[in-house]
Amino acid sequence: MTQIIKPFVAGYLATLIFHQGVWAGLYAAGKVPAAAWDMSSTEPFGIPAVLSLAFWGGLWGIALWPLIKQGRFWLKSIVLGAVGPSALALLVVFPLKGLAIAGGWDPKVIVGALILNAAWGLGLGLGLRILRA
């Protein structure tokens, strides 16, 4: 059971600290249009958007843990953290939300997603090491 709980907690916290921390920096630099730690409610349960995002970060932590736990741990954490969530968001979630696939193939959107999720992957790796998963 701890092999599910620890990666979930690491991914959840990595979202709140690393992903949203980098987002806040990008917002402060005028590179993204919305502030980090969005507390507006989401459908269908009315949960704050940042907590919904963190929940999905936790699920990604569970999904990636078997892939990153052996061998080049830090490299895998960062690269798989960047590519997996970014690809799903850009190619599946964006169209489901009525947005252009991959942000209309805008390099700023794609690179931004990769940077945010690489930071999340770094946070995931750090969290997993701290929790000794």
Number of H helices, E strands in the chain: 7, 0
Q: What is the pLDDT of residue 2?
A: 81
DSSP, res 30: T
Query: Residue 127: enclosing H or E segment and its boundaries?
Result: helix 107-130
For the chain, how far is it from start to end, CA to CA, in angstroms? 11
Q: Is the full-model pTM beyond 0.75?
A: yes
Q: What is the pLDDT of residue 110?
A: 97
List per-residue pLDDT tens for the chain, 133 residues long: 788 999 999 999 999 999 999 999 999 999 999 999 999 999 889 999 999 999 999 999 999 999 999 889 999 999 999 999 999 999 999 999 999 999 999 999 999 999 999 999 999 999 999 998 7
Task: Give the separation between CA 54 and CA 111, rounded to whole angstroms.
Answer: 21
Residue environment code for 37-73, b if the CB has 16+ CB neighbours within 10 A, otherwise e? ebeeeeeeeeeeebbbbbebbbebbbebbeebeeeee
**CB-count exposure of residue 97 (10 Å: 0-12, 13-18, 19+):** exposed
Q: What is the pLDDT of residue 80?
A: 98
